[in-house]
Amino acid sequence: MSFLGVETSLTGRRWIGPDVELTRAAELLVQRAGLPDPVCRVLARRGVVDTQAAGFLAPALRDLLPDPRSLRDMEAAATRFLSALQNRERIAIFADYDVDGGSSAALLLVWLRDMGHRATLYIPDRIDEGYGPNDEAMSALAAEHDLIVCVDCGTLSHGPIAAAKGADVIVLDHHLGGETLPDALAVVNPNRQDEDGTLAHLCAAAVVFLMLVEVGRQLRETGHKGPDLMAMLDLVALATVADVAPLTGVNRAFVRQGLKVMARRARPGLAALSDVARMDTAPTAYHLGFLLGPRINAGGRIGQADLGARLLATADPHEAAALAERLDQLNTDRREVEAAVRASAMAQAEERGFDGPLAWAAGPGWHPGVVGIVASRLKEAANRPSIVIGVEDGIGKGSGRSISGIDLGAPIQRLAAEGLLIKGGGHKMAAGLTVAEDKIEAAMARLGELLTKQGAHLAGPADLNLCGMMMPGAATVELAEMVDQAGPFGAGAPAPRYAFADMQIRFAKRVGENHLKVSFGDGLGANLEAISFGAYDGPLGPALENHGGARFHLAGRLDINNFRGRRTVQLRLEDAARA
């Protein structure tokens, strides 16, 4: 049953309110924990009971950090890494070109530098080399190094790891493993098929961090001390959010603590990047995912693959400033490239229809660096797993994004095993693939069949889940701060959204290119400011700007606006419906 009777909102969504059981659990929390109702509704959605409330609102990493040795091969990896340091061996770090890969590489580079040792960074070119280790690069690195550490890649790289003759190889990864593992000295990956899945939500940087925890333990056994790992949690937080890892369990503690570290601005690269992104408030998960992450990714997408990792690892403020400026410019260029591909891909996918289990598009010359972002946009529009493929010289390179509850990585791997793809892999929510142009249609048809078995075709338009109703007068800075304590919010932990029923629009104005500024009230004297980003990309902006005195139900999440030192609460408006 729809909430407030909204079956189809201005953005085409049905509003869903909390069920009876959730409401009762929240009411019980209010009574026993003495917390405001909106906070208790968030806790109830997460399954938190009154005895756990205090610990959940102030998560301690020491209570949530798993034993690194619970992961297979971890002890062997840490021992070999430490011996390479102690014997002053030549170490190379082979990393993926995204934020998770760059953060993982930076963790190792910074840790080794703090121990007085330098390592070689190698990040493959997205277009010339593609994702993950390749034979030529691994062979060349092995000729010059004693140890190669592959981060955020390598789990499926049987041939390239075999090509690294004369060097030991350690893999620290989180992508879905195959039936067999490459012949590396150690493959540490919570998504190996022989793992129990308890830590499957970790990104690669978190796996690297856990290895450094184990290395630190081994160091202490010999009477020595390693670098301060807590000071490196800004990198783990950045990777966790940017890689859309679920913000549950230890991931939540990583991000909470990492944001505090980042606020100290001690890492030159992140401080410089925050400045070019014009961040003037303490960092939040939103900043990591939408301001910093895309800029770091821009180097690997359409520029020089190693720029992001170099920025994150540098200790030189001047180098950091130059790299941040370069990445900011590349991000602007990336947006232009993305816009052109998105328009073509969306038109093609819409023509194919959004009623099947898969939304997909393929086109000649589409830049492989932006197909993943466009796949995300397509997924949001269709509420279906989505694939976007750029074709060049008879070969398609594509990227996919999935929706909640549908595993995309496993079927992509199966397609590769069946010979429909040249290669493919990933995890539940994201995957990459390489396919011959003449097999694209057959591969997508087969992928559709596999996704149908998971029920991907049954997803309707994305519902908007609401925690309940709120009056404008109840929305205060203090309440917003308490709700924030239940965060950070993101993948696997959606931000709480509240409905404001039967509101009067007092002021509505377009700001910037396509955003909407609104002031609304309940007619009883209490008013609330709201901002709706991208409102003019759809019907929301025009409908509210030209309200003609009509009243609306409004929905969104509470936000704190910092302007010239003054903090006020505002609604991040996401949807509306005529009352």
pLDDT at 53 (0 to 100): 94
| Percent of all residues in the chain with a pLDDT value above 90, rounded to a whole number | 88
Which of these, 35, 557, 490, 81, lies nearest to 258 by C-alpha position? 490
pLDDT at 233 (0 to 100): 98
Tell me the average pLDDT across 350-367: 94
In this structure, the strands spanning 498-511 and 468-469 are parallel
What is the crossing angle of helices 37-45 and 477-485, to 10°? 20
CB contact at 8 A, 364 and 396: no
Cβ-Cβ contacts under 8 Å for 494 (sequence gap 6 or more): 465
DSSP state of 506: E
Please state, in angstroms and rounded to a whole number, the distance separating the CA atoms of residues 136 and 141: 9
Q: What is the mean pLDDT of the chain?
A: 95
Cα–Cα distance list, 326 to 301, 319, 503 (Å): 13, 11, 45
Q: Name which residue leads in pLDDT, 463 or 407.
A: 407
Which of these, 489, 467, 495, 558, lies nearest to 248 by C-alpha position? 489
Q: What pLDDT digit, counting tens, does each position of 103-114 carry?
A: 999 999 999 999
Provide the pLDDT confidence category of residue 405 given band limits of 50, 70 and 90.
Answer: confident
Neighbouring C-alpha atoms within 13 Å toward the C-beta of 54: 4
Please state, in angstroms and rounded to a whole number, the distance separating the CA atoms of residues 158 and 151: 15
Write the DSSP string, 403-452.
Answer: -TT---HHHHHHHHHTTSSSEEEE-SSEEEEEEEGGGHHHHHHHHHHHHH
Cβ-Cβ contacts under 8 Å for 376 (sequence gap 6 or more): 386, 401
Length of the chain: 579
pLDDT at 427 (0 to 100): 86
Please state, in angstroms and rounded to a whole number, the distance separating the CA atoms of residues 332 and 463: 32
Tell me the average pLDDT across 65-93: 98
Look at residue 126 and tell me whether its pLDDT is greater than 70: yes
DSSP state of 130: -
Provide the pLDDT confidence category of residue 397 given band limits of 50, 70 and 90.
Answer: very high
Tell me the average pLDDT across 256-273: 98
Please state, in angstroms and rounded to a whole number, the distance separating the CA atoms of residues 443 and 415: 7
Q: Name which residue leads in pLDDT, 534 or 274.
A: 274
Look at residue 461 and tell me whether its pLDDT is greater than 80: no
Distance of alpha carbon 146 from the chain centroid: 33
Neighbouring C-alpha atoms within 13 Å toward the C-beta of 307: 26
488 preceded by a cis bond (ω within 30 of 0): yes
Structure tokens belonging to residue 3: 């909430």
Q: What SS3 class is residue 353?
A: coil
Three-class SS string for 359-402?
EEEEEECCCCCCHHHHHHHHHHHHCCCEEEEEEECCEEEEEEEC
Provide the pLDDT confidence category of residue 352 given band limits of 50, 70 and 90.
Answer: very high
In this structure, the strands spanning 120-122 and 91-95 are parallel
Please state, in angstroms and rounded to a whole number, the distance separating the CA atoms of residues 298 and 235: 17
Cα–Cα distance list, 253 to 56, 250, 474 (Å): 10, 5, 29
Beta bridge partners of 516: 510, 532
Structure tokens belonging to residue 320: 């950091």
pLDDT at 458 (0 to 100): 84
Look at residue 462 and tell me whether its pLDDT is greater than 80: no
Which of these, 212, 205, 213, lies nearest to 102 by C-alpha position? 205
Look at residue 492 and tell me whether its pLDDT is greater than 90: no
Please state, in angstroms and rounded to a whole number, the distance separating the CA atoms of residues 254 and 258: 6
- 28-34: long-range contacts at Cβ-Cβ below 8 A with a sequence spacing of 24 or more? 29/53
